[in-house]
Amino acid sequence: MMDTKLITQKVSEAKKSSKKRNFKQTVDLIITLKELNLKNSEEQVDMFVQLHYPLGKKVKVCALVGPELRPKAEKVFDTVISEGNFEKLSKDKKQLKKLVREHKYFVAQANLMPRIASLFGKVLGPKGKMPNPKAGCVVDLRTDLKALYDKLQKLVRVTAKTQPQVQVAVGSEEMEDSQIADNIHTVYDHLVHTLPKGEANISKVFVKLTMGKPVEVK
């Protein structure tokens, strides 16, 4: 396993080596993999990891719900699309693409999933943004929506399906180095435990800011 102190040093190094920009840069973790057959679905990586610290930037969430859940959803989520507007939205390609671009997660009312898949699947699917039950994003009347929203602020999806590489946001440059390091350690630990050969499947690990150069951690 990686040493948290070493990760913290490398995060600091990545920050110092990156020029100041006029926007808040994201800190990314990049892990290259080896000895994996990604044509075999069992060796592909696709999982959600719950971090200990938020990413330093607000994660916007859109809810697709019926009239039963709409009042509760409107108190919690950034955007709420009511069932009565599904058809209209599905035909407005420009607005739908804007919605997908601006929101990281989409939450859906469970009994509406077939309709949501039919109307929005072609746009949400390729972007990896279909409401995912593994992330808790398929809900019903009993779901604690506020708890789900708070959870999604610290949730990241880790994937490697076609290329032997994982790249995932683990924080922003304004966060404490130790908090980013903790998030990196959490992702790395979860990934290692899902790989067929564990750390033997890890080739290299880097940390970088949006516009910065990658700094090798391991």
pLDDT band with cut points at 50, 70 and 90 for residue 212: confident
Spell out the domain ranges in the chain: 4-56+154-216, 61-152
Contact between residue 201 and residue 33 where contact means Cβ atoms under 8 Å apart: yes
What's the pLDDT at 151? 96
Tell me which residue of 54, 20, 30, 32 sits closest to 212, measured CA to CA: 20
Contact between residue 166 and residue 158 where contact means Cβ atoms under 8 Å apart: yes
CA 115, 120, 122, 124 torsion: positive or negative?
Answer: negative
**In whole angstroms, what is the distance from residue 154 CA to residue 49 CA?**
8
Cβ neighbours for 119, distance < 8 A, ≥ 6 positions apart: 86, 87, 89, 90
Cβ neighbours for 108, distance < 8 A, ≥ 6 positions apart: 63, 64, 65, 116, 131, 137, 138, 139
| Domain 4-56+154-216 -> CATH class | alpha beta
pTM of the complete model: 0.88
* 4-56+154-216 and 61-152: identical CATH topology: no
What mean pLDDT comes out for the span 209-215? 91
**For the segment 27-66, what is each residue's pLDDT rounded down to a tens digit?**
999 999 999 999 999 999 999 999 999 998 899 999 999 9
Provide the CATH number for the domain formed by 61-152 in this structure: 3.40.50.790
